[in-house]
Amino acid sequence: MGISGFEPSFLVGIEAVRQAHGARLAALAGRRLTGFALVRFADGDWYADCPVVLDFDGIQVEVCHWKFDELSIGWDTIDTAAPITGWEEVEPTPRWSNGDEHIEPFLGLELDEVALLEWRPTDRDLAAGTVAVEFAFAGDRLRLVNGLDENRIEAGAAEPGYVRYRMTRDLSSSDRGGAGTGPASA
């Protein structure tokens, strides 16, 4: 993608993501969302295949969904000040943007908790088992979800088909078979 520092490590499934990133996600609680960046084309359209970068008081979280069930979470690796390269066939080259109507209302707010959400609808569908990352702030929630081979940004209450796994610093306990402090209704 030509993004400086972006070296995704894609994982599949709630347990793999929780094991790899749960404790670090939990440690974000109490920090403020101080910045964000996503990739836009010159016409302003968001390129949803590229990672969404959130900055919590100097800790940068880089979330990218890929294919139908893969999720990469990176930490402090992407340089959003560096130009995006390798897009010679596209005029002009996409670039980092600090504007998004879904994320902007959360700027400056303190993060209450982070949860991983597993899509488990009552009827089987193609997205079943995908994992979203949810950031809960006082009175509202911001989610980065799998839009079936790209990122999607959502705010507000999650759809009822999600099972929520709250991330805590002690990931050894659970209410149901093993993630975070266990599932809670979305």
Q: What mean pLDDT comes out for the span 83-107?
A: 88
Q: Which residue has 């306990």 as its token pair?
A: 173
pTM as predicted: 0.89
Structure tokens at 113: 């908790």
58: left (phi over 0), alpha (psi -120 to 50) or beta: left
pLDDT tens track for 130-141: 999 999 999 899
Could you write out the DSSP letters of every residue in 35-55? Answer: EEEEEE-TTS-B-TTSPEEEE
- DSSP annotation of 123 reads S
| Residue 11 contacts residue 65 (beta carbons within 8 Å) | no
- In Å, the largest CA–CA distance within the chain is 51
> What confidence tier does 90 reach under pLDDT thresholds 50, 70, 90?
low
> What confidence tier does 105 reach under pLDDT thresholds 50, 70, 90?
very high
